[in-house]
Amino acid sequence: MNPTRKRRLIVVLLIFAASAVAVSLGVFALQRNMNYLFTPSQVQRGEASNYPTFRLGGMVKSGSIQRSNDSLKVTFTVVDADGNMPVEYTGILPDLFRDDQSVIATGHMDHARFVATEVLAKHDETYMPKELKDAMAKAHQGRAMPANADQGESP
């Protein structure tokens, strides 16, 4: 490699390394503020108390959804591993909203209750046809299907 190319290579690599370091420092600095959401247990520990409005993320507790008869008001409970939070929302819910669904609600605390202005459903990375899901549910109840049916979606 001739000296000119060597010099260019070094300059290019240095600039690239410098920008990579700058960006990763930025990313690490943001890491603490980049939390898209708080879980119910984090909220109960008071970690979200500095934020007038924040996002609450977790699973909809099975059987906790209660719809009002005369308005779009819905109440449900969002849970994570060791916390739960009652949520109140007025409006149209996304298609994926149902029991045991991961949701992200934006809103504020009103005493012990979370009043949401927006509720988003988080989809997970699993895609499977309905027949397979039904078969899996059956296997889960009866434990009749072989164990690998549970993860049988992919080669």
Partner 1 sequence: MSGKWIPLWLHKLGSPPIFYRFAGKLRPWLLTLALLLGAIGLYGGLVLAPADARQGDGYRIIFIHVPSAWMSLFIYGVMAFAAFLALVWRVKLAEVAAMQSAPIGAAFTLITLVTGSLWGKPMWGTWWTWDARLTSELVLLFIYLGVIGLYHAFEDRRQGARAAAFLALIGVVNVPIVHFSVNWWNTLHQGSTIRLLGPSTIAPGMLWPLLTMMAATKCYYLASLAARMRTDLLDLESGKDWVRKLAVEAAQP
Q: What angle do CA 42, 56, 24 make, to 5 degrees?
A: 75
CA distance 108 to 134: 38
Q: Residue 27 or residue 29: which is nearer to partner 1 going by CB? A: 27
CA torsion 91-121-148-130 (nearest 10°) is: 50
* Least separation in angstroms between CB 5 and partner 1: 6
Q: Residue 86 or residue 94: which is nearer to partner 1 going by CB? A: 94
Bridge partner residues of 38 (DSSP): 56
Q: Residue 73 or residue 133: which is nearer to partner 1 going by CB? A: 133
Q: Residue 108 or residue 122: which is nearer to partner 1 going by CB? A: 122
The Cα diameter of the chain in Å comes to: 80
| Residues engaged in binding partner 1 (CB under 8 A) | 1-2, 5, 8-9, 12, 15-16, 19-20, 23-24, 27, 31, 34-37, 57, 92-97, 104, 118-134, 151, 153-155
* Least separation in angstroms between CB 95 and partner 1: 5
Helix (H, G, I), strand (E, B) or coil at 114: strand
* Least separation in angstroms between CB 21 and partner 1: 9
